[in-house]
Each structure stands twice: as structure tokens, then as C-alpha cells.
């Protein structure tokens, strides 16, 4: 009599096609994915995102530091001497609060005094770096600067704003 071995072969055939990774198969049927699998899947992307964000932020900060150095420290002394002014950042009492402000002090007989800047004027339209950059890059052009009277007193935003419009002289 001949034995039929088809059952064994059929069983082995089914075994070969059985899913070896049931968690992968179960994902397709709407079962929840394990948090460790999600973490490992997205961790690298999160690290890349955070790294790019940190790099971008450090480039922005570095650019700001570079600009401040270039316009205040490198070009600033020549601008101050040529246009007749100095700047400062004193603390004033404004409306009962101590506030650090950006002030200009024109030198007697200098260009900035002749066009209307007064000693201790608080410049409100520009940061220190932006002010020096404007003076350096916009020579020969008409520019505007908003300012208020300096010193202790009312809050800065309640002081009367004056706008000076002037031409920045071309470098001599």
C-alpha cells in the first residue's frame, strides 16, 4: 500500500507562507502600533529637525553679532569722528521704571548737532547697529530718524516723537 504524503507537504506549504512577524501584519488591520516602534521610526527625523533648527538659530545670532561688530566697532569710530557724535545706552527712569535707551550726543560744531540732534536724544526708530548701518550704507541719501527727549520722565511711548530728515553726507 502507498502512503499519501500530500498532507504533510500541504502543511509545510502553509507553514512557509505563515506570517513570521505578526506585529507587522496586525498594523494593517488597524491595531495600535507600539510606542517603541513609533519612537524608533521618528526619532531620527526629530533629531535632524532639531539640528537644523539649532543651526539656523546659531547662524542668525552669529550674523547679528557680525553686523554689530562691523558697523559699531569697525565703521563706527570713523562715522562718529566724521559726523560729530557719540552714542550711549544709559538707564533712565521712564514712568517709574528703569529702562535702557539708545541716545545720541552730538559734538559741538559737528554735523549731527547742526541738523538738529540734541544731547541725550533717545533714538526710537533704530537699534544702535541699525543706526550705524544706515549712516554707513546710505551715504548721499535722505534718511529719517525718530527720537524723543532724553532723560528721566514720562514713559518713552508717551513722549512727543520728533522726526529728523537729513542727507547723510558722502564720505569726504
Residues 69 and 115 in one domain: no
Kindly state the average pLDDT of the residues 82-93: 94
Would you tell me how many other CB atoms lie within 10 Å of the CB of residue 95? 13
Kindly state the average pLDDT of the residues 159-169: 96
Residues 88 and 154 in one domain: yes
Q: What is the CATH number of the domain that holds 100?
A: 2.30.42
Question: Over 80: is that where the pLDDT of 106 sits?
Answer: yes
Among 74, 109, 133, give the residue marking a domain's end.
Answer: 74
Per-residue model confidence as pLDDT tens digits over 21-68: 555 544 455 567 787 877 777 888 888 888 888 888 878 777 777 778
Q: Which domain does 122 fall in, by range?
A: 77-167
Distance, CA of 137 to CA of 66 (rounded, Å): 16
In a domain, 172, yes or no: no
Question: Over 90: is that where the pLDDT of 11 sits?
Answer: no
In a domain, 109, yes or no: yes
Amino acid at each position: 500500500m502507498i502512503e499519501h504524503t500530500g498532507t504533510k507537504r500541504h502543511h509545510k506549504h502553509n507553514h512557509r507562507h505563515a506570517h513570521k512577524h505578526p506585529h507587522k501584519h496586525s498594523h494593517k488591520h488597524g491595531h495600535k502600533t507600539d510606542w517603541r516602534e513609533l519612537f524608533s521610526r521618528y526619532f531620527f527625523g526629530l533629531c535632524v529637525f532639531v539640528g537644523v533648527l539649532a543651526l539656523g538659530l546659531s547662524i542668525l545670532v552669529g550674523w547679528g553679532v557680525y553686523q554689530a561688530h562691523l558697523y559699531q566697532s569697525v565703521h563706527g569710530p570713523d562715522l562718529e569722528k566724521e559726523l560729530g557724535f557719540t552714542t550711549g545706552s544709559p538707564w533712565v527712569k521712564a514712568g517709574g521704571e528703569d529702562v535702557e535707551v539708545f541716545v545720541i550726543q552730538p559734538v559741538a560744531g559737528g554735523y549731527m548737532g547742526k541738523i538738529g540732534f540734541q544731547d541725550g536724544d533717545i533714538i526710537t526708530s533704530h537699534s544702535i547697529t541699525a543706526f550705524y548701518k544706515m549712516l554707513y550704507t546710505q551715504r548721499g541719501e535722505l534718511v529719517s530718524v525718530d527720537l524723543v527727549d532724553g532723560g528721566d520722565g514720562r514713559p518713552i511711548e508717551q513722549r512727543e516723537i520728533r522726526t529728523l530728515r537729513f542727507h547723510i553726507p558722502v564720505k569726504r
